[in-house]
Structure 1
Amino acid sequence: MENQDKKRILIINAALKRFAHYGLAKTTMTEIAKDISFSKALLYYYFPDKVSLYVRVIEYLMHSISKELTKSLEKASTSSEGIMLLLNKRQGYIQKYYNLMEYSKYSCNDMPEDLYEKFNRAKDFEIKILNVLLDRGIESGEFKLTDTKIATEIFIDCLAGIHFNILNKDKNIFPDKEQFKQIFIKEKRFAEIFIAGIKTINKS
């Protein structure tokens, strides 16, 4: 790895720690530079502003999460186990990086195009993984489905509906930690009902 690439990764990792702990608004470029003993001028050489660094951090994190998630799902013995693992991992990442998600409070119109594209790619990855798990379940005889695409859409839409209903009830734009707990409980229960509904009934 070239020296410039090493410095860039060093900055991204330092920014990730800061953003994850304090959020975007309460983190300064000066603090990030100080954490890694870089001059502020050097930091701006690699990233012109805080938002561009934030976008790069999100991209870096999503790449790391997708690799970790793919590895974990390969170890799942059944598709049902894989779906619950996907949900648990997803919830774990949200809890761990709660402050990092601060920018998602804003509407799509206010969000930088690069960031909007990164969040869309993360959603597409989640859809792809779920589709693969459902296809695998059909091939193994675990699930009885005729259209994995529509089943995937229903699953994702229902998760979004749970999220929206809890926020709408409390008239919030972004969930606080207590609301996330409520969302997680309902998501898990829904996933259990969904899996039970598509499972093949073995008649002995």
Structure 2
Amino acid sequence: MIVADKKREQIIDGAIKRFIHFGIGKTTMNDIAEDLSVSKPSLYYYFPDKKHLIIGVIERVFNDFFELIKKKYNPDLPIEEILFNAIDVRNTFFQKYYMLRITEGIPDLLNDEVIKGKLQTLKQTEKDFFSEIFSRARDKKEIEHDDCAHIAELYLESLMGLSTMCIMETGKDLFPDKKTINKMTMKQKNLTSIFVRGLRCAD
């Protein structure tokens, strides 16, 4: 079982490298099999089609991201510092995996029910985690708000909105440089300070 899992992870590693370099749309299962010197039957044993391989890549990136987010999470820190640390992790992954451009690889990718369901599940996992962060801050009397799930959703969508603006300003065919990433990070942290300040007010 351990050997099988290792082979599966090697395939995902190979897919990530090729997706980043050539793009998802231009990459075939044959390309990945050739890169890794594995037989096509072996590749299809782990991933019956390209869609399931894309899901594997999405899961890998999210799980690595989420593992680091949790590792950096210290509930004893002030809420603002916790959120700042999370932003640093988010933007490290944003920069590292930007060229994957998952949604650009397949035109109808987000219309696929399996992939859409997986993305929604991962998004919910992140929202639940941030809801817990805000709940702990409320328990420590750092903020005042009853619906922590709602504020977690608003907060994450706000961060995503700023990321989208960064991409639009850069141009979708250009890789955001360090200056652009730093500018995005600063805006997200400024937003966080304003967001937390607002939550300190009673409803």
After superposition, the CA RMSD in angstroms is 3.2
Alpha-carbon distance change, 118 to 185 in structure 1, aligned in 2, over 3 angstroms: farther
Counterpart residue number, 2:113: 113
Residue 101 of structure 1 aligns to which amino acid in structure 2? Answer: R
CA contact (8 A) 1:29 1:50 kept: yes
- 3-state SS in 2 of match to 1:98: helix
Which residue does the alignment assign to 1:86? 86
Secondary structure (helix, strand or coil) at the match of 2:24 reads coil
Aligned residue for 1:8?
Answer: 8
Give the aligned residue type for 1:65: F
- Report the CA distance between 1:81 and its aligned residue: 1.3
Any conservation in 1 of the 2:20–2:99 contact (CA below 8 Å)? yes
Matched with 1:198 is 199
Query: What residue number does 1:128 align with?
Result: 128
For residues 3 and 165 of structure 1, the distance between their equivalents in structure 2, rounded to whole angstroms, comes to 43
* Structure 2 counterpart of 1:39: 39
**Which shows bigger deviation, 183-192 or 107-116?**
107-116
Q: Is the 8 Å Cα contact of residues 15 and 57 (structure 2) preserved in structure 1?
A: yes
- Separation in structure 2 between the aligned mates of residue 107 and residue 28 of structure 1, nearest angstrom: 15
- Once residues 149 and 3 of structure 1 are traced to their aligned partners in structure 2, the CA distance between those partners, rounded to angstroms, is 39
**Displacement of 1:141:** 2.5
Alignment check: 8 A CA contact 1:22 1:99 kept: no
Deviates more, 1:151-160 or 1:106-115: 106-115
Query: Which whole-Å CA distance do the structure 2 matches of 1:187 and 1:199 have between them?
Result: 19
Q: Which runs of 5+ in 2 are unaligned?
A: none
Q: Is the 8 A contact 1:143 1:198 kept in 2?
A: yes
Contact 1:24 1:103 survives alignment (8 Å): no
What 5-or-longer segments of structure 1 have no aligned partner?
none
In structure 2, C-alpha distance between the alignment counterparts of 1:83 and 1:29, rounded to whole Å: 39
Does the CA contact (< 8 Å) of 2:75 and 2:136 recur in 1?
no
| Residue identity opposite 1:186 in structure 2 | K
- Give 3-state SS (helix, strand or coil) of 1:77's partner: coil
Whole-angstrom CA distance in 2 between matches of 1:19 and 1:163: 21
* Secondary structure of the structure 2 residue equivalent to 1:70: helix
Secondary structure, counterpart of 2:43 in structure 1: helix
Between the aligned partners of 2:87 and 2:32, the Cα distance in structure 1 is 32
Q: In structure 2, how many angstroms separate the alpha carbons of the residues matched to 1:46 and 1:147?
A: 41
TM-score by length of 2: 0.76
Q: How many residues align?
A: 198
Partner of 1:187: 188
Alignment CA distance shift 1:109-1:121 (3 Å): same
> For 2:133 and 2:41, how far apart are their aligned partners in 1?
47
1:31-70: CA deviation from partner (whole Å, max 9, x where unpaired): 3223322123422333232222111221232223222221
Distance 1:145 1:102, change over 3 A: same
Distance 1:141 1:192 in 2: 16
TM-score scaled to structure 1, two decimals?
0.76
User: Within 5 A, what are the aligned runs for 1:92-107?
Assistant: 92-103=92-103
What is the one-letter code of the residue matched to 2:142? E
SS, match of residue 24 in structure 1 = coil
Aligned equivalent of 1:65: 65
Once the two structures are overlaid, the 10-residue window that deviates more, 174-183 or 143-152, is 174-183
Partner of 2:143: helix, strand, or coil?
A: coil
Other structure's SS at 1:186 match: helix
Looking at structure 2, the residues matched to 59 and 16 of structure 1 have their Cα atoms a distance apart, in angstroms, of: 12
